[in-house]
């Protein structure tokens, strides 16, 4: 006898229980025109985790100045890297591929008891809509997986906030877990080191210095207790050890400043200029805080930072792509997921 034998004829269909893995990345505008960029930037820059100034001070600046000009400059940058064939940003394209490959790996292991999908903290697909879709498909347990190797309040925490805000509106909440920072994970470090090794093997003349460029953060956040800076430094150290290099051969820097206050230093663009002026002619850059190539890597590093290095006297600039949907990265993500699913599915 089955439980459905006791249900009245008009009872809604209850799907078989499953476990869901919900990947989360930063987000992307729907287009590079003024209005899609404005909507995206408004959502992003209204987040109190990202900009924590008092609302009475920040919102007039945001609406009167930032949102009147920045959609044009940001839109121009996005246009230069846009995936015109799919009419979407590279971050969205890559995240789709990561999701599909991770789903394939885990479904081969766990079968239809498991589901894998993705969402974006800003823009689409929204956390709330994908979460509701998961629940409608029978996911009574959900592993929320922010794709940020290092923890920061402005990345991991705000993604978790949005996830739990979506749960607040649900009548029947699933059981949930969140994946913590995974910068120390052996498989992640192995994949990162392998990507550096491959890049160096293909160079006619090897780069003299490797710059590990991480997304920046105001220094104040570090002082207030955010562990991001320490986790970035440790990522660089673990990468050097895996490569068998001296720690001095990798220079840790921070990019993507916004606003007037002091951010984590050294700033990538200033540091690569200094290196060029001091005689470094061949430079490579890797971006270990990004799980997928995006505007900060494809435009900021490969265009702005590269130009700054060459203008300061550098001769050869190599950007080492993010791990994206490389097989070793997918296997690392799968291993992290397995560990966090312990006790839920075997």
- The pLDDT assigned to 15 comes to 65
Which has the closest alpha carbon to 286: 236, 333, 336? 236
Which has the closest alpha carbon to 331: 211, 136, 186? 186
* 83: β partners: 88
Which has the closest alpha carbon to 150: 216, 243, 70, 71? 216
Q: What is the pTM for the complete model shown? A: 0.94
Beta-carbon contacts of 126 under 8 Å, excluding residues fewer than 6 positions away, are 119, 120
Structure-block tokens of residue 345: 């599915």
* 24: β partners: 119, 146
Q: Helix/strand/coil (H, E, C) string of 288-336?
A: CCCCCCCHHHHHHHHHHHHHHHHHCCCCEEEEECCCCCCHHHHHHHHHH
Are 228 and 217 contacting, i.e. CB atoms less than 8 angstroms apart?
Answer: yes
Distance CA 307, CA 87 (A): 27
- The pLDDT assigned to 247 comes to 86
Directed axis angle between helix 127-136 and helix 158-168, to 10°?
50
Per-residue pLDDT of the chain (346 residues; tens, 9 = 90+): 554 555 566 546 666 899 999 999 999 999 999 999 999 999 999 999 999 999 999 999 999 999 999 999 999 999 999 999 999 999 999 999 999 999 999 999 998 899 999 999 999 999 999 999 999 999 999 999 999 999 999 999 999 999 999 999 999 999 999 999 999 999 999 999 999 999 999 999 999 999 999 999 999 999 999 999 999 999 999 999 999 999 889 999 999 998 889 999 999 999 999 999 999 999 999 999 999 999 999 999 999 999 999 999 999 999 999 999 999 999 999 999 999 999 998 7
Distance CA 272, CA 213 (A): 10
Distance CA 106, CA 244 (A): 32
- The pLDDT assigned to 13 comes to 60
- The pLDDT assigned to 5 comes to 57
- The pLDDT assigned to 4 comes to 53
Distance CA 287, CA 293 (A): 9
């Amino acid at each position: 006898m089955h439980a459905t034998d006791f249900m009245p004829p008009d009872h809604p269909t209850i799907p078989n229980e499953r476990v869901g893995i919900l990947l989360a990345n930063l987000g992307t505008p729907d287009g590079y025109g003024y209005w899609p960029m404005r909507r995206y930037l408004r959502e992003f820059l209204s987040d109190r985790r990202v900009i924590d100034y008092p609302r009475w001070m920040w919102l007039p600046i945001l609406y009167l100045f930032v949102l009147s000009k920045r959609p044009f400059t940001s839109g121009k940058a996005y246009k230069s890297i846009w995936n015109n064939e799919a009419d979407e940003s590279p971050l969205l394209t890559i995240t789709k591929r990561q999701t599909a490959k991770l789903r394939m790996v885990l479904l081969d292991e766990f079968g239809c008891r498991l589901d894998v999908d993705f969402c974006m903290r800003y823009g689409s697909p929204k956390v709330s809509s994908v979460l509701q879709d998961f629940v409608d498909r029978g996911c009574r347990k959900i592993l929320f997986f922010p794709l940020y190797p290092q923890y920061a309040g402005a990345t991991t925490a705000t993604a978790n906030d949005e996830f739990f805000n979506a749960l607040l509106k649900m009548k029947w909440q699933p059981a949930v877990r969140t994946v913590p920072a995974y910068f120390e994970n052996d498989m992640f470090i192995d994949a990162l080191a392998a990507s550096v090794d491959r890049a160096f093997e293909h160079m006619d003349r090897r780069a003299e210095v490797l710059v590990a460029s991480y997304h920046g953060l105001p220094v104040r956040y570090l002082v207030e207790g955010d562990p991001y800076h320490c986790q970035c430094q440790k990522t660089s150290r673990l990468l050097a050890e895996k490569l068998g290099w001296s720690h001095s051969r990798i220079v840790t820097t921070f990019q993507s400043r916004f606003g007037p206050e002091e951010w984590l230093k050294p700033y990538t663009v200033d540091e690569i200029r200094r290196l060029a002026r001091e005689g470094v002619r061949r430079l490579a850059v890797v971006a270990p805080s990004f799980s997928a190539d995006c505007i900060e890597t494809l435009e900021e590093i490969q265009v702005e930072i590269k130009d700054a290095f060459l203008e300061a006297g550098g001769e050869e600039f190599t950007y080492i792509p993010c791990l994206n949907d490389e097989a070793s990265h997918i296997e690392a993500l799968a291993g992290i997921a397995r560990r966090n699913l312990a006790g839920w599915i075997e």
